[in-house]
Structure 1
Amino acid sequence: MRIAIVAESFLPHMNGVTNSLLHVLEHLARRGDDVLVVAPSGATVAPYIPDQLAGFLPAPLSSVVMEDEGPTEVHGFPVHRLPSFALAGYPNVRVAAGTVGRVRRLLADFAPDVVHLASPFVLGWRAVQAANQLGIPTAAVYQTEVPAYAARYGVPWLEPRLWQRVQDIHRASTVTLVPSSFAHDQLVEHGVPRLQLWRRGVDTTGFSPHRRDDALRAELAPNGEKLVGYVGRLAAEKQVEDLAVLADAPGVRLVVVGSGPLKEALQARLPHAWFAGFRSGADLGRIVASLDVFVHPGESETFCQTIQEAMASGVPVVATGRGGPLDLVDSSRTGWLYRPGDLDGLRDRVLDLVGDDAKRAAFARAAHASVQGRTWPVLSDQLIGHYEDAIVAHHEVRPTGRSALRLRRG
């Protein structure tokens, strides 16, 4: 297959979208597919501000932080960078500039069988228009509930406009892949058709109970405290400040892993917590496996990969009962869900597991067992099936399109 992946964010910025793409690219390389990645640059400032982006971009332009460009090749596949701006107050998040015509030329030159739109919003909107103009099928991966961020960032009036953009992108796509039943129902309510479920894989080797580090636990909890941890971006949409309800919990030491614009504010709010900063690879697996309870308070998760990683590490989870966690956490068996906004409930659920060693161990075993078989190779093979479905669906609608001709030729 020839696959163009248009990524709303990519290396050098690590997040859930980037992490998923790296696993998918590794799988496509093993298969011998041809892939082009199109992503925002980490360094180049675009020469103008499109009107539709004005509300998202920093001013003045001289305040934009220049960063490393990022790799031009990943797993042997070329990465084409488009000029980009940094989001105001969040310099690691890039917004690609350019036109539909520019993306169309890139796709026309590469001539893919299918275009994978990774968490499309700004660049993805241009890409779906370009692909449709060229008659190329698209698989749009709904991964970020961008409209929910509006209130968190003080612009609630933007939410309807943001939902309109989401609707436009996914209605124009050949197929939309959703990561959870919540996301599926949410998009159905917004009139988005042609939905298919595609969850996320988990590295059950990198995240395993065998990575538990007793020396680290002794360092962080010298008096036998239970380690209660969070992993993810330190940004408004993650609601990490809700962990303050645990700050004075008896016998608990908070662990916060990640980076983001709220790091300093959270350090001031949680002065006794251990802030580990950004961690990855074996180091991250070691920290997660060393926790006693994993907590995720964010209410805007379409999936929540870090919950799967905690479960693979044999750590029970306490999470808000909205979004992706509804599918991942079997409440009263692998962890607990609490009502969104009920911080007393969050505290009670954590203390329930912290105070009962037998229950915590039983939940940990069930959590570990629940994610076995969800490896990235398995999920990536499912993704290939979705690509094929998109090509077939496109052929049925546009039988004279380029992809349909390729399909008939085998």
Structure 2
Amino acid sequence: MRIALVAEQFLPHVNGVTHSVIRVLEYLRDRGHEAMVIAPSYEKTMFLGSVDQVDGVRIERIPSLPLAGYPEVRVASCTVNRMQRILNRFAPDVVHVASPFILGWQAIQAASGLGLPCVAVYQTDVPGYAARYGAGVLEKGMWSHVRAMHNTATLTLAPSTASISQLHEHGVRRVRMWRRGVDTERFRPERRDHAWRERVGGGRRIVGYVGRLAPEKQVADLVVLDSLPDTRVVVIGSGPEKDALRALLPNAHFEGFLSGTELATAMASLDVFVHPGEHETFCQTIQEAMACAVPVVAVGRGGPLDLVDSSRNGWLYRPGDTESLRERVRDLVGDDAKRLAFARTAHRTVQPRTWSAVCDQLMEHYERAVRVNARLTRPHRTDVGTR
């Protein structure tokens, strides 16, 4: 198949959307499919129509501007006509739109106008983020936009039961489940590094967070852990709240942004992984921690509900109940036998969730989108009003 992937964010900026697109590209290449990526420009790709490549895959860059207050995130836009010209040149069988909002919406409209099957991957709770950034008044309008985008697409893929329910509640139709894979070769317990643990923990139990340091991640909630006895909080990541969090968590260790083997080593060297963000549609870092045999304490909302089996591979706590967060973490750092039992179960839980298996399912969704698109675009179809 020929797949055009449209990404709101892409390399060199690394986040969950970028990571998923890269893994899909690797799978498509290894299986002999052809792909291209349409993505925002960055510092070295700022010129109109500039093109570069990643592992032989053509990247068409769209002019972009930095997001106010978060310059690492770029906002790209082009006309629907220009998007159609790009797609026509490549002639894809399917258009895959990763976490659409602006550029992705232009791609969905372009694909619809060309009669191309379009798979829209719901990956970011942008309306929920708006409230965290003090723009809650925009949430209703943003959901209207999300509904229009995804109902124009041929199929929507969502990563968790919670996100599927959320989309249905807001009137999005034709939604299917597509979870994320985990790299069990990179993320594995054998990477646990005692020298790293001594350097950052000094013999104490290490409770770690990995991710962006931004309001929607609610990292400030970890203040309740900063004074736990014989425990050190380790924060791995970067973002606009870095300086404020350093002041709020004076006893924590801030390791900065890590990737690749360095990230896997740090993850495997934790005793407990924590994630307090309430707007996760999936939460890939939870799977990566589990692959490293690290039990998880996460908020009981959104994607973590599917990943954390409370009292078996970790604990869930009620949204907003930071005292429960503290108690759940204290329970695990203070009980070696329980923590190790949870760790073994966590490791076993994620072993079948390889990217290969997950992308096999994605190919089935592509094929389903081709069939659904043929039905929706049939000249004398009987479901004219449903799209």
How much does 1:121 deviate?
Answer: 0.5
Aligned to 1:301: 280
How much does 1:104 deviate?
Answer: 1.1
Q: 2:227–2:251: 8 Å Cα contact kept in structure 1? A: no
**Which runs of 5 or more structure 1 residues have no equivalent in the other structure?**
48-68, 401-410
TM-score with structure 2 setting the length:
0.96
Aligned to 1:270: 249
How much does 1:71 deviate?
Answer: 8.0
Q: 2:51–2:61: 8 Å Cα contact kept in structure 1? A: no
Q: 1:41–1:83: 8 Å Cα contact kept in structure 2? A: yes
Amino acid at match of 1:243: L
Structure 2 CA distance, aligned partners of 1:45 and 1:108?
Answer: 23
2:339 to 341, 360, 363: 360
Write out per-residue CA displacement over residues 278-302 of structure 1, whole angstroms, 9 at most, x where no aligned residue. 1011111100000000000000000
Please give the residue correspondences for 1:206-355 in structure 2 after superposition, counting only pairs within 5 Å. 206-222=186-202, 224-355=203-334
> Is 2:52 aligned against 1:40?
no
Structure 1 CA distance, aligned partners of 2:106 and 2:363?
Answer: 23
Q: 2:158–2:179: 8 Å Cα contact kept in structure 1? A: yes
Please give the residue correspondences for 1:75-86 in structure 2 after superposition, counting only pairs within 5 Å. 75-86=55-66
Distance 1:71 1:203, change over 3 A: farther
Q: Compute the RMSD of aligned alpha carbons.
A: 1.6
Aligned to 2:17: 17
Structure 2 CA distance, aligned partners of 1:92 and 1:221?
Answer: 30
Aligned to 1:115: 95
2:376 to 397, 403, 407: 397
Structure 2 CA distance, aligned partners of 1:323 and 1:264?
Answer: 28
> Is 2:6 aligned against 1:26?
no
Aligned to 2:349: 370
Structure 2 CA distance, aligned partners of 1:137 and 1:368?
Answer: 37
Write out per-residue CA displacement over residues 185-214 of structure 1, whole angstroms, 9 at most, x where no aligned residue. 000111111111000000001100110001
How much does 1:219 deviate?
Answer: 1.8
Write out per-residue CA displacement over residues 243-266 of structure 1, whole angstroms, 9 at most, x where no aligned residue. 011011111101100011111111
How much does 1:398 deviate?
Answer: 2.1
Number of matched pairs: 379
**SS in structure 1 at match of 2:39:** strand
Amino acid at match of 2:244: A
Please give the residue correspondences for 1:162-201 in structure 2 after superposition, counting only pairs within 5 Å. 162-201=142-181
Stretch of structure 1 that moved more, 320-329 or 108-117: 108-117
How much does 1:70 deviate?
Answer: 10
How much does 1:46 deviate?
Answer: 9.3
**Which runs of 5 or more structure 2 residues have no equivalent in the other structure?**
380-387
TM-score with structure 1 setting the length:
0.90
How much does 1:239 deviate?
Answer: 0.4
How much does 1:399 deviate?
Answer: 4.0
How much does 1:355 deviate?
Answer: 0.6
Amino acid at match of 1:303: F
Aligned to 1:74: 54
**SS in structure 1 at match of 2:105:** helix
**SS in structure 1 at match of 2:66:** strand
2:73 to 87, 90, 93: 93
4+ residue stretches of structure 1 with deviation over 4 A?
44-47
How much does 1:221 deviate?
Answer: 2.3
How much does 1:45 deviate?
Answer: 6.6
Amino acid at match of 2:38: V
How much does 1:79 deviate?
Answer: 0.2
Structure 2 CA distance, aligned partners of 1:102 and 1:95?
Answer: 17
How much does 1:72 deviate?
Answer: 1.4
How much does 1:28 deviate?
Answer: 0.5
